[in-house]
């Protein structure tokens, strides 16, 4: 803004000196003090406006949905043909979030994981929720189903069951103003008949 410029203050000081010279010492001083008061008031008014705008910007950044995968063990259900893996996502923000898509990509232990790459061996699970609105403090359960009667499913389950798998979750969601992305990654270190033991690893990313 112009009032931040040195030119603004130089012009103001020169105006004060000019008033003193033209109007005489005492009258000039009185008017000069009035001018200085106006300049100072203008400066602090501008500063206050800037701080208000910055505070509003920070508030807008916080007033939003925030969706992520809950911590804790992931539930496992094992049958002769089907393995189901369930986990929950939660909205801990202050606004409802509309879920756009949820992808779970498993990786073998030695594979590199980026924000959006695919595994060379294991297929991803993608879901578009049928009830997409996730309200504050509410959860949504995601279920990944592995068919172990087919070779690809058996290979995936063998890697997971051996504790040699990693999983990356990509959650896209939005509110009325913006679209957001959550990426969480974990190493599955142990499996028993009811739970997967999960440890967070990189990458972890939120917008």
What pLDDT digit, counting tens, does each position of 33-47 carry? Answer: 555 566 565 555 555
**Domain end among 15, 37, 62:** 62
pLDDT at 74: 81
Number of structural domains, the chain?
2
pLDDT at 13: 62
58 and 71 housed in the same domain? no
11 and 76 housed in the same domain? no
78 and 113 housed in the same domain? yes
| Share of residues in the chain with pLDDT > 90 (%) | 48
**Domain end among 40, 62, 84:** 62
CATH code of the domain containing 84: 2.60.40.10
pLDDT at 129: 82
73 and 47 housed in the same domain? no
15 and 72 housed in the same domain? no
Q: Which pLDDT band, with edges at 50, 70 and 90, does 191 fall under?
A: confident
What pTM, to 2 d.p., does this model score? 0.69
The 3 state secondary structure assigned to the chain is CHHHCHHHHHHHHHHHHHHHHHHCHHHHHHHHHHHHHHHHHHHHHHHHHHHHHHHHHHHHHHCCCCEEECCCCEEEEECCCEEEEEEEEEECCCCCEEEEEEEEEEEECCCCCCCCCCCCCCCCEEECCCCCEECCCCEEEEEEEEECCCHHHHHHHHHHHCCCEEEEEEEEEECCCCEEEEEEEEEEEEECCCEEEEEEEEEEEEC
What pLDDT digit, counting tens, does each position of 78-129 carry? Answer: 888 999 999 999 999 999 999 999 999 999 989 999 999 999 989 999 988 8
For residue 25, what are the domain limits? Answer: 2-62
Bigger pLDDT: 149 vs 72: 149
35 and 112 housed in the same domain? no
13 and 77 housed in the same domain? no
What pLDDT digit, counting tens, does each position of 1-38 carry? Answer: 544 556 555 566 655 556 555 555 556 555 555 555 66
117 and 134 housed in the same domain? yes
Bigger pLDDT: 32 vs 157: 157
pLDDT at 62: 76
């Amino acid at each position: 803004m112009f009032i931040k410029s040195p030119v603004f203050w130089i012009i103001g000081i020169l105006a004060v000196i000019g008033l003193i010279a033209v109007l005489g010492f005492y009258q000039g001083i009185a008017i000069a003090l009035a001018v200085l008061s106006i300049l100072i008031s203008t400066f602090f008014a501008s500063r206050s406006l800037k701080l208000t705008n910055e505070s509003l910007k920070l508030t807008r950044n916080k007033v939003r949905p925030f969706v992520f995968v809950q911590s804790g063990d992931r539930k496992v259900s094992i049958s002769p043909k089907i393995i189901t893996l369930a986990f929950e996502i939660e909205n801990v923000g202050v606004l409802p979030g509309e879920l756009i898509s949820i992808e779970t990509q498993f990786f073998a232990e030695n594979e590199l994981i980026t924000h959006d790459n695919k595994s060379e061996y294991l297929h991803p699970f993608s879901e578009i929720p049928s009830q997409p609105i996730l309200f504050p403090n509410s959860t949504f359960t995601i279920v990944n189903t592995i068919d172990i009667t087919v070779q690809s499913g058996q290979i995936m389950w063998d890697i997971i069951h051996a504790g040699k798998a990693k999983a990356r979750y990509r959650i896209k969601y939005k509110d009325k103003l913006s679209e957001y992305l959550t990426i969480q990654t974990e190493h599955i270190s142990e499996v028993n008949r009811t739970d997967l033991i999960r440890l967070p690893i990189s990458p972890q990313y939120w917008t």
